Structure 1
Amino acid sequence: MKKVLIYLLFQFLLSVEFISVSENVVANDTSMQHRNLNHMTREERFSEAMRRTLYALKVLLPREGWTPVGPEMKYLARAIKEFTFIIHAGVFIPCIMSYGTNEQIAKWFPLAADFRIIGTYAQTELGHGSFLRGLETIATYDRANQEFIINCPKITAMKWWPGDMGKSANHVLLMAELVIDGKKYGMHGFMVQIRDLTTHEPLPGVTVGDIGAKLSFESVDNGFLYLQNVRIPRENLLSKLSEVHPDGTYIKKGNQRLMYGSMVRVRVNLIAHEIVMPLAKACTIAVRYSAVRRQGLINPSKEEVPVLDYVAQQHKLLPQVATVFMAHFAAKQLVKMHHDYSLEVEKGNTSQLPELHALSAGMKACLSEQGAAGAEIVRRACGGHGYSCGSGLPFIVNRMLATCTYEGENTVMQLQCARYLIKCADQAKKDKLTGSVWYLSDFSNMSCTAQTFGDLQEPSVLVKLHERRAKCAVQHAGKKMQNMVKNGTPAHDAWNMMATLLINAARAHIMQYVVGTSVTYISELSCSASLKKILTQLCALYALHNINSNCGDFVKFGCLTSAQCDLAQEAEFNLLKQLRPDAVGIVDSFDFTDDILQSCLGAYDGNVYERLFEWAKQAPMNKTEVHQDSYQYLQPYLHEGRDVLEGRGRNSKL
């Protein structure tokens, strides 16, 4: 089994050697080790994250011969619990590369890559988020001075939420409505300097700052930006796709829809870094703790058992472990699709954008909801100690909750995915579809003939069940809308009224994609039979858990009978039993060090209670035996109580 898990680690992290070397470098560098974040103020966490991030980028990487775009960064992203410049590195720089001309890239990229300027991507506004056409910031061309004048015409136009903007950035890649001679040309990207490079003070016309405390991301300076008559040179319009000539002539050079591609790229990468990895950490903590914590008796004549021996606990934890693997496999396929799309775009072919946009939006929404819910499930599964910040779980839960909102609010993302599905369902009536929606034009017999729970553990059966459910969900929503329109309901009203059915269709589509791609990925792995067996069991558990959580759909659409739903539940319980002996080994294969996890419950040595006690003693409240600031309020009353007990004060006879 040990050899199997070592190979499992190899497949999950891609390179044991690279991870091992990177881990040793980081673990042995005292400047990279975490301080106790739970005992720090937000300002301290922000400063500490800034210090560690800059140390890693400006000292560690050059010293080791690593680069900001090298494979080592994958490990640093795992190793650094809190870091800054997420948007600078992940959005600002890629947007310059994607939407700038060669001259603009030559000017801005070296400065940004070397952190001689710090930038952010400013799109979301106080009054508008996912509805990009509603953005209100305006860039008006001044022909006489060959400048753009940037204005937020009202408070709702203020940029709000961009990371790195509050206190760090001195430049923003600003998304604003381009206006020339009173005519609007849509959203464009502008390079705008907002702070003085010598003093770091805001420039004239710029009001900028941090938006304040949030549920999570304490080390990120999410900011607000209010611009009034801020002038920038004409050359600061990112001009790969369009440009404005000195005389005000607007030239379209490419598909302006590609400007939306930056969000697609962020969503593609978000799944791996902000959903898969955090959930893997939460599962590691909870499974390890559940193997240590003993409580209650299963057999009254025997000793207390680890809570992981309870089927109810396995049912909470193991499907979340399975989610980590299946989301990882599906995310790898999405990354590959995005890579292929990027190559095609270089040739001028953007035909893959609608599918990639729909899939990335749907996966971001579906998997972020699964991940956030899963992290909270495993936190609760750790009982009272899971509520303590010393467990490391509240940090993970709160951070993952944010993924349900940023880079596209999930309901909006699901409806965007559904819009694509409805169009494809109409097309499937005439043409054979390919890609992620191929099943919509598959009219073969998909009835389920499973007679035992073992039949329902077969990967091919599970894939077919999810395809049929997705197809029926999409067709059901489409037909409902079509009937409403036939009966006189305006199409936009029908869309609004059927939103919940459309969201369900999008979720069903993503689930079939995750299950289908995972089954294919596992089947094509060149590995030992024992490893493939474990991965297949995890895949079946993920699929069955989804079926049992949505059995109403599977029965309603004729995918399963009521009796087969009972078999599906039996099949899931059987897999829990099979996976229980290897549960700790499976999460250990994620290879998180104690420093990365920052958890008293999930440390490798299993010394839960000793670590909790030591952690509690380090709390700022325990620096002194008496907390003087609060004691000053208690003191008069406690002294009265003392006097009474010593027979000197009021009611002393009592």
Structure 2
Amino acid sequence: MSLNKLLSPNDHPDLAEERRRATFNTDEMSAIIWENKQNWLRRREISKIVAEHPELHDPCSQAYMTRAEEVENAARKATTMIRKLGELGISPFEGEDIFHLTNEVIGIRGHPLAIHAVMFIPSLQAHCSDEQMHFLEMAMSMQIIGTYAQTELGHGTNLQKLETTATYDAKTQEFVLHSPTTTSMKWWPGNLGLSANYAIVVAILMIDGKNYGPHHFVAQLRDLKTHMPLKGVTVGDIGPKMAYDSSDNGFLRLDHYRIPRLNMLMKHSRVAPDGTYTRPPHAKMSYSAMVHVRSHMVRHQAMFSAYAMTTAIRYSAIRRQGEITPGAGEVKILDYQTQQYRLLPQLARTFAFLFTGQAVKNIYMRVQKDMAKGKVDEMAELHYVTSGLKATVTHLSGEIIEQSRMSCGGHGYSKATNFSEIYGVAIAGCTYEGENMVMLQQLARYLMRAAQAATTGHSLSSLTDYLVKPCEKHSLIDKHPDKTYSHHISAFEWAARRQIIKAYERLVSLKNQGLSNEEAWNQNAVELNRASRLHTRLYIAQKFYDKVQTIVDGPCRAVLEDLLHLHLNYELIDMAYYLLEDNYLTGQQLNHLKEDMYRLLQKLRPNAVSLVDAWDYSDHELRSVLGRRDGHVYENLYKWAQASELNRTQVPPSFEKYLKPMMEEARKMSKL
């Protein structure tokens, strides 16, 4: 009996062969990937429900829909999904069920309730005072549809420079929301264009001419009966994007639009009727909604990467091209070392991101509980951790998905693979919730404070204590191999420590040359970003290692250790510059890492298909002809092509209008 539980009699023979080679139980691995058996079985149950209800399906491939059709189709499925959730007794805004169900039903292209679920409601939960809970009740019961309007046409990550103002009028006890310039328009918020009738507007609080910085305000945008914009509100869709075609990202301009005083969310900061302002107990509390999203982004990016990996590895197991041994017949392209090198380290990265995301999610949940008790000490540290992870993981996920696409050759360019949508959705994460370069700079500020503390003998947190930890001056990575991978982790620490201290010393030197703090920082920004990336890659490596140590199932742990080992080798080779420059690593040791990596590629090759199978994505969720579970790619690619609207007629209007007259004219001219 095969250990790969997806093996089916209808499988393509080449894919069936791969599944019989599994050395671990894929069901056990699925439970690890989805954190426990209950979560995994729940996913299976949801997949079954979706498969059995045609009203949750698309009438045709989303690739063949116009944008207007996509938006309407997404609205239909989203509202149907909400009703189905009610029938199942599932809250649409709690737990992982809704995320999986959304991906099964709608896919990753967006829908009219997405920001309502992932930003509007969490923001209300984080910022509503007791007397404002009616906003949350209306949102949870779907009486209103909300969005989160922060980014402006002219400003995004720099919140202090947002131009939208909320000026308090003590006489009427109202806030006057105003967009004074073209660049002050809110721009990009999901579901703002056509769907939302409420928004949390992030605006600069002004009281008696004094600027109190960005705060959150609840504003009704549209009439609840007619859905027409209210007076003083100009709102609409911003047009087509690289991805998220089912989402109506929008613009919003407010013209002296008045809202009641209690529409400012006041759980942490308050404005009294007379205009007296009370600051929040901790400055980072206002970031909780964005940190909430970032804490989940790492895991979601792992899921996007796994979509691409599943398609690429399955297809590589059934695609035959060329011969390795002359006369022996064409081989699976997954048998080529170049294909293994292209895909398997990226698969290891995908698992690294997954396990890091799981760890960060748990940290966030603990911090939220502490904040409810008034303990906010860890919020700042979590902000820096998630800033670095968000920037690093979204960037590398784009690489994973693009490598997956290219590994599928010409067919990878077809929308039938879903690569274009996965890529577009994943790389959007490079700019939403904080532009990546700025996120790395935020982490760098934390690291520079840690470097200063390290050089002056002050204590450090567990995140940065490696800066002062005793270490060998030369790596022992090829001397004493062991399953703790301590020499690998030490090499990550060396690279990060070296770059952080180097960036700190250069910053001090620039200031000693007479540059201001701001000028010195800008002149040192590239080195600072490198420090942030290396620190984050160390964090990811450590979390991957920590997770593997918790695995009880022996065969699953064995293959995950191989993936961990591959990940550590591949990443260290990639950052060799930082290890070779000070002779911490020798050229001979680098060659040892490379040879060990090639060995691991061969060792992991038999489990490649089973490792992506363990993510247990249904065909409905994957939406990829090349990544089908049964491996019958070519006949279904042909069926997909036949569905093109261009094939509805053999003589298109363009032939009669343009091509035919051109050729007839050319024929006439040739007879002259």
The TM-score by the shorter chain falls in which range?
over 0.9
1:53–1:83 Cα contact (<8 Å) kept: no
Q: 1:413 & 1:117 partners in 2: Cα distance?
A: 33
Q: 1:110 & 1:291 partners in 2: Cα distance?
A: 50
Q: 2:245 & 2:602 partners in 1: Cα distance?
A: 40
Q: Which among 575, 592, 599 is matched to residue 550 of structure 1? A: 575
Match of 2:495 in 1: 469
Q: Which among 90, 99, 108 is matched to residue 127 of structure 2? A: 99
Q: Which among 248, 252, 270 is matched to residue 275 of structure 2? A: 248
Matched, 1:33 2:57: yes
Match of 1:295 in 2: 321
Q: 1:239 & 1:630 partners in 2: Cα distance?
A: 64
Match of 1:539 in 2: 564
Matched, 1:403 2:424: no
Give the C-alpha shift of residue 230 in structure 1.
0.4
Q: What does 1:117-128 align with in structure 2 at a 5 Å threshold?
A: 117-128=144-155
Give the C-alpha shift of residue 460 in structure 1.
2.1
Code of the aligned partner of 2:74 = A
Give the C-alpha shift of residue 291 in structure 1.
0.7
Aligned residues: 642
Q: Which among 204, 218, 235 is matched to residue 208 of structure 1? A: 235
Give the C-alpha shift of residue 191 in structure 1.
0.7
In the TM superposition, what whole-angstrom CA distance separates every residue of 1:420-456 from its partner, at most 9, and x where no partner exists?
Answer: 011112112323423222212212336312337x939
Q: 1:630 & 1:502 partners in 2: Cα distance?
A: 58
Code of the aligned partner of 2:619 = D
Q: Which among 654, 659, 662 is matched to residue 637 of structure 1? A: 662
Q: 1:640 to 1:252 in 2, by over 3 A?
A: closer
Q: What does 1:328-343 align with in structure 2 at a 5 Å threshold?
A: 328-343=354-369
Match of 2:86 in 1: 62
Q: Which among 109, 114, 136 is matched to residue 136 of structure 2? A: 109
Q: 1:650 to 1:133 in 2, by over 3 A?
A: closer
Q: Which range moved further: 187-196 or 73-82?
A: 73-82
Q: 2:233 & 2:477 partners in 1: Cα distance?
A: 66
SS at 1:103 equivalent: helix
Q: Which among 322, 332, 350 is matched to residue 306 of structure 1? A: 332
1:268–1:331 Cα contact (<8 Å) kept: yes
Matched, 1:46 2:71: yes
Matched, 1:12 2:40: no
Q: 1:237 & 1:470 partners in 2: Cα distance?
A: 42
Code of the aligned partner of 1:627 = P
Give the C-alpha shift of residue 19 in structure 1.
2.1
Q: What does 1:239-278 align with in structure 2 at a 5 Å threshold?
A: 239-252=266-279, 254-273=281-300, 275-278=301-304
Give the C-alpha shift of residue 64 in structure 1.
1.6
Aligned-residue sequence identity (percent) comes to: 36
Match of 1:199 in 2: 226
Match of 2:539 in 1: 513
Q: 1:558 & 1:265 partners in 2: Cα distance?
A: 41
Code of the aligned partner of 2:478 = Q
Give the C-alpha shift of residue 17 in structure 1.
2.2
Q: 1:468 & 1:71 partners in 2: Cα distance?
A: 37
Q: 1:74 to 1:169 in 2, by over 3 A?
A: closer
In the TM superposition, what whole-angstrom CA distance separates every residue of 1:301-333 from its partner, at most 9, and x where no partner exists?
Answer: 310111111100111111111111110111111
SS at 2:123 equivalent: helix
Q: 2:670 & 2:242 partners in 1: Cα distance?
A: 48
2:284–2:379 Cα contact (<8 Å) kept: no
Match of 1:610 in 2: 635
2:471–2:490 Cα contact (<8 Å) kept: no
Q: Which range moved further: 423-432 or 574-583?
A: 423-432
Code of the aligned partner of 1:60 = K
Match of 1:579 in 2: 604
Matched, 1:86 2:110: no
Give the C-alpha shift of residue 605 in structure 1.
1.5
2:116–2:146 Cα contact (<8 Å) kept: yes
Match of 1:384 in 2: 410
Q: 1:490 to 1:71 in 2, by over 3 A?
A: closer
Match of 1:624 in 2: 649
1:241–1:256 Cα contact (<8 Å) kept: no
Q: What does 1:94-493 align with in structure 2 at a 5 Å threshold?
A: 94-105=122-133, 107-252=134-279, 254-273=281-300, 275-429=301-455, 430-445=457-472, 447-451=474-478, 455=481, 459-493=485-519
Q: 1:190 & 1:630 partners in 2: Cα distance?
A: 56
2:284–2:380 Cα contact (<8 Å) kept: no
Match of 1:601 in 2: 626
Give the C-alpha shift of residue 504 in structure 1.
0.7
Q: 1:514 & 1:557 partners in 2: Cα distance?
A: 24
1:140–1:180 Cα contact (<8 Å) kept: yes
Q: Which range moved further: 8-17 or 306-315?
A: 8-17
Match of 2:19 in 1: none
Q: 2:139 & 2:451 partners in 1: Cα distance?
A: 44
Q: 2:369 & 2:123 partners in 1: Cα distance?
A: 16
In the TM superposition, what whole-angstrom CA distance separates every residue of 1:365-392 from its partner, at most 9, and x where no partner exists?
Answer: 0001110111001101111000111111
Q: Which range moved further: 20-29 or 426-435?
A: 426-435
Give the C-alpha shift of residue 71 in structure 1.
4.4
In the TM superposition, what whole-angstrom CA distance separates every residue of 1:91-147 from its partner, at most 9, and x where no partner exists?
Answer: 111111111111101x11121112211111111111101011111111111122111
1:166–1:211 Cα contact (<8 Å) kept: yes
Q: 2:79 & 2:473 partners in 1: Cα distance?
A: 56
Q: 1:222 & 1:450 partners in 2: Cα distance?
A: 50
SS at 2:219 equivalent: strand
Give the C-alpha shift of residue 408 in structure 1.
0.7
Match of 2:670 in 1: 651
2:320–2:330 Cα contact (<8 Å) kept: yes
Q: 2:535 & 2:669 partners in 1: Cα distance?
A: 74
In the TM superposition, what whole-angstrom CA distance separates every residue of 1:514-553 from its partner, at most 9, and x where no partner exists?
Answer: 111111111122222x211110111111121111222111
1:456–1:462 Cα contact (<8 Å) kept: no
* Larger RCO (CA under 8 A, 6+ residues apart): 2
Give the C-alpha shift of residue 65 in structure 1.
1.9
Q: 1:651 & 1:99 partners in 2: Cα distance?
A: 77
The Cα RMSD (Å) is 1.7
Code of the aligned partner of 1:469 = A
Q: 1:325 & 1:395 partners in 2: Cα distance?
A: 21
SS at 1:231 equivalent: strand
Regions of 4+ moved over 4 Å: none
2:317–2:332 Cα contact (<8 Å) kept: yes
Code of the aligned partner of 2:121 = I
1:240–1:254 Cα contact (<8 Å) kept: no
Give the C-alpha shift of residue 637 in structure 1.
2.6
Q: 1:562 to 1:474 in 2, by over 3 A?
A: same
1:88–1:119 Cα contact (<8 Å) kept: yes
Name stretches of at least 5 consecutive residues in structure 1 with no aligned partner: none
Q: 1:626 to 1:350 in 2, by over 3 A?
A: same
Q: 2:484 & 2:602 partners in 1: Cα distance?
A: 17
Give the C-alpha shift of residue 554 in structure 1.
1.6
